[in-house]
Structure formats: C-alpha cells, structure tokens
Structure 1
Amino acid sequence: MNDQKNEQAQRKLREQAELKLEDAVPEVLPLVETPEALRHELSVRQIELELQNEELQRTVQKLQEAHEKYVGLYDFAPVGYFTLDGNGAIVQANLRASRMLGAEGSRLLGRRLAQFTAPDSRTTLAHLLARLHASQEELVAELRLQRGDGSTFPVRLEGQAYAPAGSLVAVTDITTEKAAQEDLLRLNETLEARVAERTAKIRELSTELRIVAVAVAEDLMAPLRRVASFGELLKRDVVKDSEASLKHLELISRSVGQMEELTTALLEYTRASHGRLRLTPLDLNRVFSEVLKDLRPQMEGRKVSLTSGLLPTVQGDSNAMQQVFLEMLRNALKFTATREEAQIHVRAEETEAEFILRFEDNGVGFNNRHKDKLFQVFKRLHPESAFPGTGMGLAVVRRICTRFGGRVWGEGRVNEGATLFLAWPKQPHVLD
C-alpha cells in the first residue's frame, strides 16, 4: 500500500515539477537550503499525506452513510428494539419502541422496562431476563406492555444476552394476532352452538316425521275403512232401498273428500319441508296486502275487520312468507266465525336479533294449558264438527319458520281470543 502511495506521489510530483520549492513544502517547514534529494523526498511525503487525507475523508463519509442507514433501519424496523443493562434499565430504544409505549425515546432511557410492563406481566419479564443471562440463548415470551395512559397491549418479546451483563429485546405488537385468535375462538364457539342447534332441529324434524307417518296412517286409514264399509253396504242396499243407498253414497263421497283434504294438507306440509327457498328482502306490508286479496272470498257475507300495523322488511322467501301469512290469517278467520264481528290485527315488534309478528284475534281462543299442541301435525284444540279442518295449517307455519331459524308459539284464553306469535330472525339461516 505504501509503495502504491509512493508511486502516486511520484507521479503527482512530476506533474508539479515546475512548481517552486516554497509551494511544494508545507508552511510549517523552515525554508532552508537542502539538497535536491531531500527536497524531493519532502515533496513526496507531502503528497502522500494529502492522498491519505482524501482517502480518510472518503472512509469517514462511507461510515457516516452506513451509520445513517443503520439508524434508519433500527428506528423504522417493524418491531421495537430495547437494549437493556444488567438491571433491566433501557440503554437504547428505537423509534418503533417509543411509539409503542407512547413516549419520547429520551424519556425511556435509564428507566427499567418493568415500569412499562402491565402489573400482571412483570413476573414473566423478570423470569425472562434472568433466564437470558443464565442460558445465553434466545428466549421468547408473551406478555402485556403498558403505556403512559394506563392502556395495555399484548406483545411477543424475543430476548438475547448482549454485552457482559446486558440484553437485547425485540418487541412485536400482537394485538391484531390476539384479536384474530379471539375471533377464531368465538367463531368455533358459535359453530359449535350452531352445529348443536342444527343437530337438535334435525332430531326434532326426525321425530316430527315419525309423528306424521303415524298420523297419516291413522287419519287416512279411517276414511278408507269407511269407504270400504259403505261400499259393501251399498252393494246390499242398492236394490232394497234407493234412499239408503243415496245416504251411503253421500257418506262415501264425504269420506273421499276428507281424504283429499288430508292428502292436500300433507302435500303442502311436504312442500314447506323440502321446497327450494331463496333469501330476498321482503316488505311484509306488501305480503299482507297480497294475502288479503286471496282471503276475500272467505270473508264474503261476514263482518270482518282484518288490519295490520306498520310491518318491517325482512330477509325471507316470498312464497314461503305468503304461505305463513295465509295460514295464520286463515286460522284467525276460522276461529272468529262465531263472532258477530271478527277482529283480526297483525302488528310487529323488534328486538336486537328478531322481528316478532303478532297475529291477534277475538275468536273462541283456547285453553292455554294445551298451547304446546297448537302447531303440531294433525293436532286440533277444538272439535272437527265445530271447526272443520285438517289440523295441518299451523304445522306448515311452524315448519317454514323452523327452516329459517324462526320460532312460533301462541297464547289464548277460552272465549277471549288468541294471539299467535312468529319470531323471524334478522339474519336467517336456511335449514334444508
């Protein structure tokens, strides 16, 4: 290296050969008479010093640039860095760490990291620092740091021994990670609850289907037996007595009509159980108006006040919701038939998760002790002779509501009217 500098100096000296000795020798040198060789040597040394100074300046500049780059990387790193002494006091902290704690970096220096740790996490920090100096290995722990305003947040600390007794600690804010974990836990709990709910509903449906099978066997077989019986009687009476034959034929026709009603009701229930559903916004005021048109024929010759309050817009299937309103209002019209003036009113209430629809009437009501049977398949709370029907209409309502995650129930008093309730979820989930 010295030879190279010497060569560079010699070259530069030759370029300055015409310069006077006074210009080539530093001012600090005395102007004395010297041999030519000595003057030449002094000139070479002077130029070497200048070259070394230039190189030193370049090196200093590179070091300065590297330092600035290091400071930038250190301060703006995505994690916080603390350099701690043997007592856990902060010797150095980067900008990210200062921002985490909501304090200026200068205010952190000299203070122990434990002062910025939540009380319930200080023991964890103390154990971590003790283990760092004992093991000399990188260790990881999760705890909560505390800002000056008292708020805390979760962090992951990764520590490593540093210098004779100090340590270097990297801090990562894991607030988002913890929130995601909590959301996942809540989702798992919700999923478990939904699975349990759906399992319960499936079991309920299985039980209900078994009840339907028994009911169908009982209710459909009776008319069939009567048809067969009166058919045999007709064979014997057709010649003997035409009047008796006509009576038997009338009974046969009535039984066949009853079978048709039961079969039709069963088909409606099957469609309500397995029909394809589509969730769309439904204005229940419009649904009420459309159903009212279909009920006009049933109200002819009667004095009926069929009204509604302001009804909400819900998520549901248009055909299914019209079926619900049709069956609920048909039921109200049926059991107000004995009243001089039927009064039927539909209104809505809202809770945080549901819309509660109330179908109120001034009909014959029912004994509230039997309200659990109100929406069951082929169940009647009144004699068929007084109020004809299959007992399937409200079962269809219950089945539709169940498929959307809704609920139905009723309250009534004998001869004091009844109120049927329908709870429709704001965010229904269709159960096939």
Structure 2
Amino acid sequence: MNSDEQLRQRAERRIASQPGAGSGQEPASNQWQFAQQQEHELHVHRMELEIQNEELRRANQQLEQAHHRYADLFEQAPVGYVILDDTGVIQQINQTGCHQLGAMHRQLIGRRFSLFIATDQRVAFAALLQQLFQTPARTAQPSNIYRRELQMLRQDGSEWDAQIEYAGLTEGTRPMIRATLTDVGDLKRSQREVERLNETLEQQVERRTFQVQQLHEELQTFVYSVAHDMTRPLRQIQGFSDLLTRHYPPSDEKSARYLSYLKLATTQMGEQMSALLAFFQSNQPINHLQPIDLNRLIQGVVQELASEMRGREVSITHDELPTLEADRQSLLTIFSNLIANAVKFTRPRPQAIIHVGVQEQRDTYLFSIHDNGVGFDQSTARRLFGLFQRLHSERDFEGQGMGLALVRRIVQRYQGRVWAESVPDQGSVFWVQLPKNPSELLDDARW
C-alpha cells in the first residue's frame, strides 16, 4: 500500500469519526466541506513527499558519483593500497598494489600479506602487526603513521624494495590496517650509485691529495736545496765586494756605482731567499698555542720598526686589543708585515697616521690596519696577496713581494680571511678576520 492510499484511508477514518457522521444529524454541505479539506491536505502531503523523494534521489546520485570518484582514486593511485585485517589477511587491494605484487585481484584477496614479504623479514612484520592492533586507538589517529622499508616478493618470487606506511582504520566493528606500498627500488639503486661514486671520489681525492703532498714536499726540498746552495756563493760575492771596496777602492765614479749595484743585488737576493724560506716554513704545523696579548705584541712590533721611522713623524695607535689563543710567531708575522707596510707606504707623508682597530663579532675578531699612505688602485687588489706581486715600482718602495703572501697563508691556516681596500693617494685599510678559538680549527690544518 503506497503513501497516498494510506493518507486517503486516514482521511476517511477521520470523516467517519466525526460526530453525526452518516447519521443525518449534520447537513450534507458540512460533510462535503470537510471532505474537501481532507483532500487538500492529502494533495499537500503528496507534493511534500515528491519533493523529499526527489531530494533523496539526488543525494543518492551524488553519493554514487562520489563513490565512483573515490573508487577510481583508490584504484588508480600511484602507490599500492592494501587493507589488512587483524590476522594480516588481505581484505582489499587496488590495481597498483596488484601490479606491485604481480598477481590478479582475485588471487590476492584472502591471502596473507606476509607471503609477499622476504622470509627473513616476516617475523619483524608480524611483531609490527601485533603492535599496531594492540593499540587501535593510537594507530587510528591520522598522525600516527608507521614507516618501514621491507624487501618484498612478487608472485613469481622476484624481489623489490618497498617503503610501507601503516595506519589504523576505524570503519566497522573489526579493526583494520591500511598499508601503503611505495616502490623505492629506483631510489635505492640511485643511493647505491651515489655511494659508489662517493667512494670512488674519495679514493680519487686521497690519491690526488697524496700526489699534491708529494709535489709539495719535492718543491719544498728543492727550495731548501736552492736556498742552501745559493747562500754560500752569495756570501762570497758579498765578502769579495767588501774586500774590493776596502783594499781596492774604485778610481772613478762609474766603477763605484757598478760595485754598489753588485752589493745591492747580492743583498736583495739574500733577502729574497730568506723571504722564500720563511714562506715555505710557514707550512709547518702549529703545535703550540698560548694566550697572546695583542696590545703587547703590537707595542713590540712598533719598537722593532723604530729604525724605519727615524727622522719621520709617525703616529701608530691601536684600540684596546683582545688576548688570542694562538701561535705567537704567526700573529707576529701577520701584524709586523701589515704595520711595516703601512710605515713604508706612508713615507711620502709629512705626518704618517696608522691605527690598528678591532671589532668583536660572534665567533671572530675583525682587525683593521688603517693608514694615510699612497694607497693603490682597488682594481688591482686581487694581486696584492700573490707571491712576488708588487703594485708599486721598486725604485719608489723596496721589498720582495713576499710579505702579504705570507700573511695570507698564515691567516688561511687559521681559517680566517684577509683583504684590503684603498683609494689612490687617500690611504689604505687592511682587514684581518681571525677566529676567537683557533685551537678548535687547527687540529687538521696541514698544507
């Protein structure tokens, strides 16, 4: 019996139950009006039911579309989805999962998932499954996802690498686990290739490092040998030049000039050899660090340069400098070379002004040596710290072009930085950045 018929019968019963209905006590017009009213209500109810039925059909259609849409997403997902019960039996699996396990859908439903895991990893999988089902409330949370990498088996017995994510499901009364399978075989192969290349690269680096060390030792030996072999003839030339000057003084100005050139050349060559030896000796490991008061060290450098400043008006000042844990000879070489350069290149100034400053940074000290000397073209600054590089004529300023190269080498050993800024005829500033705790950086310092 449909809803309309039920409503009609209900209306007839209401008419029959009215007082005097069918007994002739009320006029027939009243009964007719009552019947019309009931028929109108019946019509209204019928329309409401049709509207509700239409809404229900539309909702069912939307649910069906959503079901198909999410079913397609589940089936065509780029990863495998497997639904397992509490015994590890496959209840549902998508097409990607079937492809990964190498079997048809009907061949997999109802089978134990552990059959597709490498034999030596099945015990670990069983323990994980037990752990997941023992704490269903926790595993059901979306944020509680367990990841494992397992060696998987296909239906034909071939192996493949998988990353599996497990999450609990709360649908129905029986607990379930959703396992997401991702084939990481390509990633594993890439990792193994990277490891192989890294190992090969390390071997190449070790071999090249050994070759560089050998070449460096050979070069150092050669420099020492040349310096040693040249020292004796240089001293002889210088000695004989002094004897000639004392016992056979030049009879004319030209001979005297030639003899002075000879003595100057031997002196310069000796200084060049000494500077070259000092440069290579800076390669020696720094084994002894001690607290160095830079204020006292700078004062000592200024005293050593007193002869260079005799007859000149030179002002050398400095900030309150820190105490550094370092090798004293290294710091002495750095600051003596930089301050000596400032003294030399301020020589044309009627009053030379040199200042050593410091800025404390988080892990380093940044030192600066300002002067009001002749300066240099900033575009040539990259040549400053090169071996045997000079930016000024030797006729104007003497030197071997070794001091700044030596400074850079020592600063780099301390894993610091050194650079210079200048404007021609407006002075220069040399910057030296050194770590506060060099002892932490020098353990493996070998050149």
Q: TM-score, normalised by structure 1?
A: 0.49
Q: TM-score, normalised by structure 2?
A: 0.47
